[in-house]
Copies of this chain bind each other. A is one copy, B any other.
Amino acid sequence: MGLVAEQAAIIHSDYSLSFSSRQPAVVHLQGQGSAIQVKNAPILLAGSIAACQSILHSHKDRSHLWGPGTGGGVLNDWSRITMNPKVFKLHPRSGELEVLVDGTYFIYSQVYYINFTDFASYEVVVDEKPFLQCTRSIETGKTNYNTCYTAGVCLLKARQKIAVKMVHADISINMSKHTTFFGAIRLGEAPAS
């Protein structure tokens, strides 16, 4: 009896995750700090493997490689505005957003560059592999204020982690809540393989 009830709960829970349910699986995180100076952000190699391939690579938990703060370039000063806890889990120290169920996701993000020399770029990474990149360049020596928005559809497996990562050193960003944010919408199941 207990087992039957548990299965029923699982099925119900499973339905409540999909778009056919009434409560959509979404997350919207906002920056909660003020200006941050990113230093020594690593430059990713051009030949790095892409995330979100239809043939999903096995992934290892490499989250221990991320330092707290933005030392590794990952933004982590997020405030949960909306989050379905059955689908998303925020790791506050690393800044990573873990998805708890397989599926097709729409991922979006915006970063507010407030001062940079020559070139500013960030990536939306999935398990540390780049998925989307958002770039601005501008005349050297000027003060620059530019929001940079990007978004796309990605197949994700449970336990994969999304993050927003600066890819160039020496940039100031403003993590105010309306200018720097990060979110996802689970659109439904992943295609059957």
Contacts and interface: CB of A to CB of B under 8 A. Distances in A.
Contacts of A149: 134, 149-151
A142 interface: yes
A54 B80 contact: yes
Contacts of A147: 133-136, 148, 150
Contact of A188 (B24, B27, B123, B181): B24
A21 B53 contact: no
A26 B135 contact: no
B179 A135 contact: yes
Interface in A62-120: 80-82, 84, 104, 106, 108, 110, 112, 119
Interface string A150-193: 11111100000000000000000000111101010101111110
Contacts of A190: 23
Interface of A: 18-24, 26-28, 30, 46, 50, 52-54, 80-82, 84, 104, 106, 108, 110, 112, 119, 121, 123, 130-139, 142-155, 176-179, 181, 183, 185, 187-192
A108 B185 contact: no
Query: Can you list the 4 inter-chain pairs with the closest CB atoms, starting with the nearest?
Result: A24-B188, A22-B189, A137-B145, A24-B187
B185 A153 contact: yes
Contact of A183 (B26, B50, B144, B152): B152
A145 to B, nearest CB: 4
Contact of A191 (B23, B53, B119, B187): B23
A84 B145 CA distance: 36
A130 B178 contact: yes
A178 B123 contact: yes
